[in-house]
Structure 1
Amino acid sequence: MSHQLELRLMGRLDAPSVVPDSHIKACQSYRDAVRLCWALRRVKAMTTLTLAEAAGFPANHRSDYLSDNEERRELPAKYIKAFEAVAGNTAISQWIAMGAKLTVLEELQARAA
C-alpha cells in the first residue's frame, strides 16, 4: 500500500501587487522606494543575488541599489519593471507616479489595470 502526500500548489500570480499608499507616502526618495519594493517582496527567502539574476542587472551592483547610502549608485530606470516583477509589488512605480502627481482618475485606472 502506497502513501501519497498532497502537494499544495501555489496559485497563479498575474502581476505585481499594489502597495498601500501609506507605505509609498513614507518614502522620502527614489532609493527609499526601491528599498521598500525589496522589503515587501513576495518571496522573503529570496537573496539579492537571485534578484539580480532574475531582473537582469549586474550582480555586483545589487548592494549599491539597496544601500541606504545616498552616495551609492541608484537602480537605473530600465530595470524598474523587472525589479518589481521579481519582487512582486509596484512600490517604485507608485512612488514615481505619486511624484508626478497623477490625478485621482488616472490612479484609479492604473489600479484597475
Structure 2
Amino acid sequence: MFNIGGWEFITLGLLALLIFGPEQLPKAAQQAGRMLRQLRRMADSAKNDIQEGLGPEFRDFDVQDLNPKRFVQKHFWESEDEEEAPARRATAQLNGRRPPFDDEAT
C-alpha cells in the first residue's frame, strides 16, 4: 500500500524522536501498535458481519470486489471471448512489444 524507502523511514523515525522524545517514543509506538490491531479486528469483524448478512448465496463474495478498480477488472478483463483469446496470447508472446507494422501492406 505504501512504498516507503530507507531514507523516508529514517526521516520518519527522526521526526517521531523529535516529536515524542526518547522517553515517550516507546509508549507512543506501543499505543500505535494497539490501535492498528484494534482497527484490524474491527475491519475483520465488519467484513464477517457483511458476509454473514448476505447469506449463503454470496459465500464467495469478497469485500475487495466493491473497489471500483477491482470491479471493472473482474467484470471486463477477466472474461475473454473466444475470438479475443488468440490475439491476447499472440500479444503475450511478444513480451509486451507491439507487433511489426508494415505501412505498404495496407
TM-score, normalized by the shorter chain, greater than 0.5: no
TM-score (norm 1): 0.21
Structure number, greater radius of gyration: 2
Greater fraction helix: 2
Which one scores higher on RCO, CA 8 angstroms, separation ≥ 6? Answer: 1
